[in-house]
Amino acid sequence: MQSPTPPSTLPGSRTEPDGSAVVRVLSYNIRSLRDDTEALSRVVRACAPDVVLLQEAPRFFRWRKQLSRLARESGLVTLAGGGTAAGPALLCSLRATVESTEDVLLPLTPGLHRRGLSTAVLRFGAARLGVVSCHLSLQKDERYAQGGMLLDKVAGLGTPYAVAGGDINERPGGRTFRLLAGKLRDAWTVRPAGGEYTSTAADPHQRIDALFVTEGVEVLGCGVPQLPGVSEADLRAASDHLPVLAALRLPAAA
């Protein structure tokens, strides 16, 4: 593991002369917008993301309207997910060119919540990025099976460069987390920038939210954001989870 990157130096979005792109990716469990939505929008805006992987997005009554409002107030647009993915969703900035989106419902275990994946393939100039947002099960065996399905989906996106993440509902030592980190790269471990623990927002003591990247994606920094404009009060008020922000450099597509 490299030395921690000072959070204030997390790179901004840009396109390099060689066609590669620096992209900011945010993952956030927003607890169905049951908390302070104005604080939530301020946190998302301050993170200046190109792509947002949401978990527990609205998925019942007027969920599309609620998700669109969050996107608008955060300076973004709705990309995919919500009710059609059983909670995971994707937002993006106008910098992204959308090639494709797909929402996937995972097999339902009787007595447990329905889970799903929200996916997309995006272009940033000459760079392409596959994206998957997930919220895995609280039940360990189902969670492990869903981890395998997540990996299969990443492999089937049709692009060698991808980021997957969300609420894993498990700490790094857990079986499913280790499965994901064994096939992909845990961005916080590669280059930590900012805080480690994501749960709870009021008492951060465990890391159960994460971003994982494929080989070839350069991690410039990843962690709970500690940036100008992101106040501790807003982080506590916005949700019961803390967000994870990463800056990634993507090679230009062949």
pLDDT at 9 over 70: no
Q: Does the pLDDT of residue 132 top 90, yes or no? A: yes
Structure tokens at 167: 């609420």
Q: Tell me the pTM.
A: 0.96
Is residue 11 in a domain? no
- Rounded to an integer, what distance in angstroms lies between the CA atom of residue 12 and that of residue 208? 25
* C-alpha to C-alpha distances, 85 to 65, 124, 210, 245, nearest whole angstrom: 16, 24, 19, 22
How far, in Å, CA of 41 to CA of 47, rounded?
10
In a domain, 226, yes or no: yes
Checking if the pLDDT of 6 tops 80, the result is no
pLDDT digits (tens, 9 = 90+) for 211-227: 999 999 999 999 999 88
Residue 4 pLDDT: 53
User: Mind listing the pLDDT tens digit for each residue in 88-128?
Assistant: 999 999 999 999 999 999 999 999 999 999 999 999 999 99
CATH code, 246: 3.60.10.10
Task: State how far Cα 55 lies from the chain centre.
Answer: 8
132: containing domain: 18-250
Q: Annotate the chain with DSSP letters as a single string.
A: -PPPPPGGGPPPPEE-TTS-EEEEEEEEE-GGG-S-HHHHHHHHHHH--SEEEEES---STTHHHHHHHHHHHTT-EEEEESGGGTS-EEEE-TTPEEEEEEEEEPPPPTTS---EEEEEEEEETTEEEEEEEEE--SSHHHHHHHHHHHHHHHHTSS-S-EEEEEE-SS-TTSHHHHHHHHHSEEHHHHSB-SB---B-SSS--B--EEEEE-TTPEEEEEEB---TT--HHHHHHH-SB--EEEEEEEPPP-
Q: How many folded domains does the chain comprise?
A: 1
pLDDT tops 50 at residue 210: yes
Confirm whether 145 is domain-assigned. yes
In the prediction, which pLDDT does 229 show? 77
Computed from CA positions of residues 173, 176, 182, 186, in that sequence, does the dihedral angle turn out positive or negative? Answer: negative
Cα–Cα distance measured from residue 251 to residue 243, given in angstroms and rounded to the nearest whole number: 25
Residues 147-206 pLDDT 10s = 999 999 999 999 999 999 999 999 999 999 999 999 999 999 999 999 999 999 999 999
Q: CA 46 to CA 171: how far, in whole Å?
A: 27
Domain-located, residue 13:
no
pLDDT band at residue 254 using 50, 70 and 90 as cut-offs: confident
Q: How large is the average pLDDT for residues 51-55?
A: 98
Task: Tell me whether residue 243 is in a domain.
Answer: yes
- The pLDDT-based confidence of 1 (bands split at 50, 70, 90) is very low
Task: Write the pLDDT tens digit of every residue in 10-44.
Answer: 899 999 999 999 999 999 999 999 999 999 999 99
Residue 236 reports pLDDT greater than 60: yes
| 246 lies in some domain | yes
The Cα 239–Cα 68 span in angstroms is 18
- Give the list of residues 6+ apart from residue 109 with CB closer than 8 angstroms, or none: 137, 139, 142
Residue 124 backbone class (left: φ over 0; alpha: ψ -120 to 50; beta: rest): beta
Query: Residue 147 domain-assigned?
Result: yes
**pLDDT reported for residue 10:** 85
Among residues 191, 240, 227, which one has the least CA distance to residue 12? 227
Evaluate whether 28 touches 54 at the Cβ level (below 8 Å): yes
Residue 7 lies in a domain: no
pLDDT at 169: 98
